[in-house]
Chains A and B, each alone.
Chain A
Amino acid sequence: MEGSGLSLQRQRQRTTNRAAAVFLAPVMILLVIFIFYPILDTFITSGYKWNGISADKEFIGVLNWVALVQDGKFWVAFRNNLVIMVLSISVQIPIGLALATFLDFGGKKLNVYKVLWFIPLLMSSVAIGFLFTYALATNGGIVSTISGWFGGGKIDLLGNPKLALLTVIAVICWQFTPFYMVYFMAAYTNIPFDVFEAARIDGATKGQYFWKIALPLLVPSMKSAAILSMVGSLKYFDLIYVMTGGGPGTSTELMATYMYKQSFKTFNMGYGSAVAGGMFILITMVSLITMKLLNGRKEV
């Protein structure tokens, strides 16, 4: 009796395993074909000198990687990614939080604001890139026009190497701030109403409620928002590729735009693979470090 019970259990586990394999197979196959194998293949290709078209591939070992480490342009690109990351986090999250707070304190009657603020998020990065190439043009652009109203001259934002990166970051913030607004609005609804009510009964003003009660409760949400923004900034591509293509010079070059241009414009697929690999390693490292730091602070 006992023996057959055990084998029944084993049989059950076997059918469970089989069902799990059937259910998981399609997802795993697609991940292997389109993510795991490509990652491996990128690292393999980075060992070759190859233009992507011809059959002659020359194995050159780690030479692409040596070149990458010494490639000033790549490190400029990485630095630009870091600048975008830091400025994105320090602009989008506070403004997003401020907008959400305004909507949360004001109630339903402020819905118009919410709708209008959300508009940038409806456009694709590519469309935004094109729109702002024209909207920020030196002639007939928005900023130049407004500067003209106040008697100022025309302003060339994207053509100036010193201003181009900041301009592009401003556009990125324009696009994603509504995302963080919605994000923090959801975080606000997670604060139990009792907490707010208790604070009111104790005579706290809205300002006190925000600084002393809501803000500390929102810290975990701000941390995950920062991680989201960080990972996004390091992968950034579409908008900048469309707006500046990395220029003028290398002033808005990013790891992803550099990788794309190396691989598909100058057809250095071997070196492009090394750039992609370097990008992958750096993103993984920065993510792990940041997550450790953010979680570490929580425990203190």
Chain B
Amino acid sequence: MARFVPLPQAVADNLKDGDSVAFEGFTHLIPTAAAHEAIRQGFRDLTLIRMTPDVVYDQMIGMGMARKLVFSYAGNPGVGLLRRLRDAVENDFPRPIEIEEHSHAAMANAYEAGAAGLPSAIFRGYRGAELAHVNPNIKFVRCPFTGEELAAVPALRPDVTFIHAQKADRKGNVLIEGIVGIQKEAVLAARRAVVTVEEVVEDFSGLHPNLTILPHWTVAAIAVVPGGAHPSYTHGYYARDNAEYLEWDRIAADRDLFGDWMERNVLRATPEDFARRVEKLRVAR
């Protein structure tokens, strides 16, 4: 049953050291505010799960919070590489990180299997791909009906999934629009789910009948954080801050510059700062 709580409480109540946690969002609706709150609370030894770890995971890894990363594309999309992740993988800085690497198709299927309550996902994939040789969680099975060899990966079942969404109604039902990504599956696969939203409305009556809605009883906690996806975007509210993604490449390239940036923009910041960051990016509604 969803409870409306301030973000610091939503994070403290649902995340703990050593958890496997997904802060999901596929370019759109990345739960940056929730990730920054987790950084401020200083969790350790997390297994970070995400198809497209980008800037927020670079930040969490650079702060030494992650023991392991499960992922399928670790880059700053359209910009380049994740430099804090590279430092961790190539130089063990600030700590060694274990890697479990998949393809997008595998992770999408694995989340879906988690949501569907299945132990594993079966799909046509990884043929000739070398990841199958370096990741022991990639296996092959034979279709009992046709004999076709298919790839299998274990279902993803995060302890906690964090997502950002457009809005909740008073009961705590959650609406997601635009590029919906993998978030519905990631929420339903998780033991607990926490959602940050742009706003709360009275109810969802009169909306299109096929919208992506998560019923309130699938969510543990909701925190209202306007701008909470920045520098990612919220469809219908504000645009992606592409200039900030370009700038991140310079900041993350240098350990000291990174530390200074994190101190000023995350450790000494609050969830309320996000609204100001998206002011110039607001779209007409």
Tell whether A pairs with B: no
Binding site for B on A (CB under 8 A): none
